[in-house]
Amino acid sequence: MIALTRLAAGSILSLAALATPATAQDTTFARGELSSAKNHSGDIWLNELSAGDSVIDAAVAVATYAPGAVLDWHAHPGGQVLVITEGEGFYQERGKPSRIVHKGDVIRSMPGVEHWHGATPTSPFAYFAVTPTQKGKTIWLKPVTKAEYAAVR
């Protein structure tokens, strides 16, 4: 299985190397609509790519944050995976130290674990979010305090 995966990855890389600027396609996603929800501070855009349903139990979205934007504390009953695609951000789970995350990082938020994430004061921040939906929607909690945001190291 590992050899097959490496072979497939090598084939994909070989094909990508053959692409020229004239044939390469832009694979970025639109940042979506500016959120008017009351569960964050700062400007955050959301592009919902696919809603979860009874066949495929996962919602997929792209979220893009302006520098300094942050979501309130929240939890996902089914967990969540974030794939950071741009910039630098912060992530913290309740009771654990906060951390800085970068483009290319993958965050796995376990089911029901309270956490928050947001952009650094100086960098935009974006990610793909894959969120299982059949166990329920996001549970929104209190806003992140200025002290919690400032404590990220």
Distances (CA, A) of 33 to 42, 43, 72, 81: 14, 10, 19, 21
Domain assignments of the chain as residue spans, ordered by start = 33-151
As a whole number of angstroms, the distance between CA 93 and CA 109 comes to: 8
Tell me, what's the pLDDT at 33? 75
**Is 146's pLDDT higher than 60?**
yes
- What is the pLDDT, as a whole number, of residue 31? 67
Tokens of 9: 């990855």
Mean pLDDT (the chain, rounded): 82
pLDDT of residue 4 exceeding 50, the answer is no
Superfamily, domain 33-151:
Jelly Rolls (2.60.120.10)
The residue ranking higher by pLDDT, 2 or 150, is 150
Residue 35 exposure: Cα atoms within 13 Å on the Cβ side: 22
The predicted pLDDT at position 28 comes to: 59
Q: Among residues 146, 118, 148, 150, which one has the least CA distance to residue 35?
A: 118
Supply the pLDDT for residue 56: 85
What pLDDT is stored for residue 55 in this prediction? 84
Q: What is the pLDDT of residues 5-31, one digit of tens each?
A: 333 333 323 323 333 344 444 445 666
Average pLDDT over residues 122-133: 94
Q: How confident is the model at residue 64 (pLDDT cuts 50, 70, 90)?
A: very high
CA separation for the pair 65, 114 (Å, rounded): 20
Q: Which of 89, 76, 91, 90 is nearest to 140 (CA)?
A: 76
Per-residue model confidence as pLDDT tens digits over 85-98 = 999 999 999 999 99
